Amino acid sequence: MKRILVTGAVGQIGSELTLALRGIYGNGNVVAGINRTQPEGALKETGPFETVDCTDIRQVAAVVAKHKVDTIIHLAAILSAVAEAKPNLAWEVNINGLYNVLEVAREHGCAVFTPSSIGAFGPTTPLDDTPQDTIQRPNTMYGVTKVSGELLCDYYHKRFGVDTRGVRYPGIISNVTLPGGGTTDYAVEIFYEAIKHAKYTCYIKAGTFLDMMYMPDAIKAAIDLMEADAGRLKHRNAFNVTAMSFDPEIIAGEIKKRIPRFTWDYQVDPVRQAIAETWPNNMDDSAAREEWGWKPAYRLPEMTKDMIEKLSVKLKK
């Protein structure tokens, strides 16, 4: 990776990954690809940004050519809950947008990183220790687009030699930019509400276990996979990666250890609950560990401590 374009650069992952990449590869070498939301603060001030609507192939191609991009980190996507509400938009962005990025990569010789997700699994997938290679029959629009994306990226590698790579991210917990309409968002919201009001009403039922990861590990996963020796990779586009698995009771209890007056209750959202129930309880990420040395740094206690410290400062301002 020398000259990088990040699509979805103002999103939850993009806003932090873009800055991390600028720190490593040089500010001028990492273009923040934005669409409707303008960049602010460090994202705007530290390096170039361009409007890149991934559904417009000419725009993607023009920015890649202008900045001599050799790697596209394609993060622009519609998350699971929004995808259920707007399935045609999800198809347009998650499928046609990815297709455009892959086509531009093929023509311009770029490598591509695209996240897949725990959403690429479905109700007939084994939900405990979910294997790397297993049944994938998702029943959500988000899942349909994610499993198709995995296949499309594999195809572009095999057929055209495009250096495509990706991980199946679990729910990502972070304190800079809020996630935009996913099922796992509760694990971020709970921190904001605990710090602001010492109270949270959770839309996911107690007892629903999901894989999660803290942002520093999500960033490390993307960079380490892109820098990995290609000769070691047997899988390419859909590595299971996880750092922790919990249900709402466990994370709420962990927060309560640090904010003793914190209380919580439940008001279950049937749409997001139904989605969560088809996703793994915990994934087996041994392929990522073996093929490119994946190892998360943050488990639940360290993540909780860091989230509360960082958000307490942020929310006081």
With contacts defined by CB under 6 A, how many residues of the chain interact with ligand SER?
A: 11
Q: By C-alpha distance, which of 135, 99, 141 is closest to 119?
A: 141
Question: Which SS3 state, helix, strand or coil, does residue 264 take?
Answer: strand
How far is 132 from 240, CA to CA, in rounded Å?
6
Asked if 149 touches ligand SER (CB under 6 A), the answer is no
Instruction: Please select the residue that binds ligand SER; options are 79, 105, 112, 244, rule is CB under 6 A.
Output: 79
Q: Which stretch binds ligand SER (CB under 6 A): 24-32, 41-49, 180-188, 305-313?
A: 180-188
Asked if 183 touches ligand SER (CB under 6 A), the answer is yes
Asked if 240 touches ligand SER (CB under 6 A), the answer is no
Q: Element (H or E) spanning 167, and its range?
A: strand 167-169
Measured from the CB of residue 168, what is the shortest distance to ligand SER in angstroms? Answer: 8
Active-site residue, 142 included = yes
Contact call for residues 172 and 217 (beta carbons, < 8 A): no
Residue 42 vs 151, nearer CB to ligand SER = 151
Contact call for residues 155 and 227 (beta carbons, < 8 A): no
Q: What is the CA radius of gyration of the chain?
A: 19
Asked if 140 touches ligand SER (CB under 6 A), the answer is no
The residue with its CB nearest to ligand SER is 182
Listed in sequence order, the residues at least 6 apart from 34 whose beta carbon sits closer than 8 Å to its beta carbon are 9, 10, 49, 50, 51, 52
Asked if 80 touches ligand SER (CB under 6 A), the answer is yes
How far is 154 from 120, CA to CA, in rounded Å?
15
Q: Element (H or E) spanning 283, and its range?
A: strand 282-283
Q: How far is CA 67 from the centre of its chain?
A: 25
Choosing from 25, 99, 142, 169, the catalytic residue is 142
Q: Element (H or E) spanning 113, and its range?
A: strand 111-113
Measured from the CB of residue 162, what is the shortest distance to ligand SER in angstroms? Answer: 23
Instruction: Please select the residue that binds ligand SER; options are 11, 143, 171, 216, rule is CB under 6 A.
Output: 171
> Per-residue string for binding with ligand SER, 117-136, x by CB under 6 A?
xxx-----------------
Measured from the CB of residue 118, what is the shortest distance to ligand SER in angstroms? Answer: 6
- Catalytic sites, residue numbers: 142
Instruction: List interacting residues with ligand SER (CB under 6 A).
Output: 79-80, 117-119, 142, 169, 171, 182-184
